[in-house]
Amino acid sequence: MSTRPIGIGFIGAGAIAQNHHLPVYQKLRDEGLVDILALADVNDASVQATAERFKVPRTFHDYRDLLALDDLDAVVVCTPNYLHKQPAIDAFAAGKHVFVEKPIALDAIEGAAMVDAAHQAGKKLQVGYCMRFSTGATAVKRMVDDGKLGEIYHARCHALRRRGIPSWGVFTQKDKQGGGPLIDIGVHILDLTLWLMGHPEPASVSGQTFVKFGNREGVVGLLGQWDPKKFTVEDYAVGLIRFKSGATIVLESSFAANIAKDEFYTQLVGTEGGAYLNPRDIAETRLYREESGMLTDTTQFGLKPNVWHEGEIRSFIDAIASGKPSPVPGEEGLVVARILDALYESSETGKEVYL
């Protein structure tokens, strides 16, 4: 057990750091569990203001200066996807634990390098798949573990926006983001589904991506106006993932599509029951079964409100303090990255990709 507060530093202090991570770390600091030692961000004006707001004593332009701090135990990497790998590898080389925002990296090659670096350093790597910490997800996981679904042989998962192309950051640039909705929001629902299914081993992936809206002028932008000339990612992706167990997942993800409404859910289909879960809305947590000759639908009462960022961050700190394994290990983030790489490759080649 650690005897002093765990020293934390941030690499990247943009939207996710300010809106979700820093408020939780502030709470943990008040509880004496952590010290927030410094923020590193190349946007000097913004990082200064953020440090003042969250009472963080030091800021750096170059994250490597942050890594040299004596009391630093762990870093939270909240930079864009193309800047996950190098800061994480440098942090491991400096002997620090790493929490990296999702996805693990631009692709599986980068992700594998991070996992190797974590092993070599003997430090923890946690990937920011926060939706596992939704109270609805925790309940469905218990149903699965209790055998209420039987054998889960299929899952359908959707992360669909009708008109939700991001207008900020690098979310529409393939070289910096790695892809479109699939790597941004599809990863969340895919990771959640893999976790609920007990991480079956993937065998092959077949998929298709589309660009039908992002590169067009005059399309409605409910999340602001992006630049269609700089739109280099897909705006719709669909994939069929086959597992060595024989199970399958169908995944669909969009930034824009002519559909009735946004959808965010996973539906597990099992021999003894089915579960429907929208991790963002715990009211949408349901179990479907056949019992005593009757078809039954179970809805939830009494689930606690979601505090998923707090859940993932407390688990990270607990793993460091207690020596427990990472609750969302890099290896599991790497499986998601391998599936995504295969889906993009399948779309390009028109063939099923074997893993």
Ligand X SMILES: NC(=O)c1ccc[n+]([C@@H]2O[C@H](COP(=O)([O-])OP(=O)(O)OC[C@H]3O[C@@H](n4cnc5c(N)ncnc54)[C@H](O)[C@@H]3O)[C@@H](O)[C@H]2O)c1
For ligand X, the binding residues (CB under 6 A) are: 11-17, 40-43, 46, 63, 78-81, 83, 101-102, 128, 130, 169
* Torsion over CA: 319, 323, 328, 334 (sign): positive
Question: Smallest distance from the beta carbon of 46 to ligand X, in angstroms?
Answer: 6
State how far the Cα of 158 lies from the Cα of 176, in Å rounded to an integer.
24
Alpha carbon distances (Å) from 250 to 156, 194, 197, 210, 276:
5, 12, 13, 16, 14
User: Shortest distance, CB of residue 309 to ligand X, whole angstroms?
Assistant: 7
Shortest Å, Cβ 186 to ligand X:
12
Give the chain's radius of gyration (CA, Å). 20
Whether residue 200 is preceded by a cis peptide bond, meaning omega within 30 degrees of 0, is: no
Q: What is the smallest separation between the CB atom of 30 and ligand X, expressed in angstroms?
A: 23
- Report the residue number, 235 or 270, with the smaller CB distance to ligand X: 235
The CA–CA distances, whole Å, from 38 to 30, 66, 128, 135, 337 equal 16, 7, 20, 31, 30
Closest distance of CB 224 from ligand X, Å: 13
DSSP letter, residue 311: H
- Which residue(s) pair with 253 in the sheet? 159, 237
* Residue whose CB is less far from ligand X, 81 or 209: 81
Q: Which of residues 10 and 276 has its CB atom nearest to ligand X in the complex?
A: 10
Residue nearest to ligand X (CB): 14
Nearer to ligand X, 2 or 93 (CB): 93
CB distance 162 to 267 below 8 Å: no
Q: How far is the CB of 102 from ligand X (least distance, A)?
A: 5
Taking the least distance from each CB to ligand X, the nearer of 42 and 321 is: 42
CB-nearer residue toward ligand X: 152 or 187:
187
